[in-house]
Amino acid sequence: MKISLLEPLGVPESVIRGLSSELTKAGHEFVCYDKKTTDKKELAERSKDSDIVMIANNPYPDEVVESAERLKMLAVAFTGIDHVGLAACKKKGVAVCNCAGYSNETVAELAVGLAVGVLRHILPADQAARTGKTSAGLTGREICGRTVGIVGTGRIGIRTAQLFGAFGAKLLGCARHESEEAKAAGIRFVGLGELLRNSDIVSLHLPLNAETRKSFGKEQFSQMRPGAVFLNCARGAIVDNEALAEALNSGKIAGAGIDVFDMEPPIPEDYPLLHAKNVLLTPHVAFASEESMLRRAKIEFGNVTAFLAGRPENLCKI
C-alpha cells in the first residue's frame, strides 16, 4: 500500500525514518512531505494514489477526501478530529484513527501554567523587573484553597484536575458522563451553572463539535465570579471570544489564559483577545512538548501498523 505523511510531525527526521522503516520493510511505499499546505489542490495531489494518509492538524476537508480514490484510512496525529472531512470519510468508509492521550500531560501542565501566570501576574512582573520598576501592584493570588471547575472531564480534564489538586485546590466538574476515574481524582460533579457560580478558576476541556461550538459565551461568563479566571486549552471555537474579551474588559471576570482561538495562529491584529485586559495568550502550544511529539509520532505509526494488520486502534466514531 502507499502511505503518505502530508506534514511534519514535530520530531527529528531520524525518528520518522526509524518508524517508517518498518512499513517499507513490509513492502509498503512511504512518502513524506516536509512542509504542510492548506491548498486543497496540493493536498489532493499529495493524496493521489494513497491508501493511507497521515496528517496532524492540517485541515483535510471533504472535497480532498472525496478526491482520494484509493483512500482507506486517515491517520490523524492529534486528539481532535474537527479539522477532518468526516462526512466524506463516513460516506466512503474511510477509517479515521486519532492519537488520543498523547498530550494529556502537556496540555494539563500548560493549563496550570497559564493559571499561575495570570494569578501571579508573571508577564507584568517580568516587564516590571526589566524596566526598573518595583513589585507595586503585582500582589498575586494562590491556587491553594481555591475552587477549580473542570468543564469536560475526559483524560485531559482529569489530568488537569489532578495537577490543580496537587496545589491544594478544591475540584468541581461538569460532564455528560460522571466517570469513576474523575471522582477518584477528587472531582465533585455539579451542573454547569453551579460550577460557574462557585469556581475561582474555570478550565475548559471539551471537544469541538456541532453541540459545543460557541456554547460558552456571554450567558456563561455572566454567571462566573468577578474574581474568576477562565482557561481554554481545548478548542477556540467552543467559546464566543468576543464575549470573553467583553467580560475581561468590563471586569466581569478577572483574567484569562488562552491557548486556542477561532483560527490557527498567526492571529489577526484586530482579534478582540489581543486587546483585552488581563489575558495571557499562547499560540496553540498546549499540545507541543518534546515528549508529547515523540509519543504522538509513535502512536500515529502504530495506528497505521495496526490498521494494516487488520486490527485498527484508536478508531474514531464518525
Residue positions annotated with a catalytic role: 235, 264, 284
Reading phi first (left if > 0) and then psi (alpha if -120 to 50, else beta), residue 289 is in: beta
Count of C-beta atoms within a 10 Å radius of residue 109: 18
Among positive and negative, which fits the CA dihedral 50, 54, 58, 59?
positive
The kind and range of the H/E element at 31 are: strand 29-32
At 189, list the grid cell.
460533579
Q: Are 261 and 289 in contact (CB under 8 A)?
A: no
SS3 content of the chain, % helix, strand, coil (to 5): 40, 15, 45
Q: Give the integer Cα–Cα distance in Å for 46 and 211.
A: 33
Residues 6+ apart with CB under 8 A from 290: none
User: Grid coordinates 513490509 are at which residue?
Assistant: 26
Ranges of beta strands (E only) in 137-213 are 147-151, 170-174, 187-189, 201-204
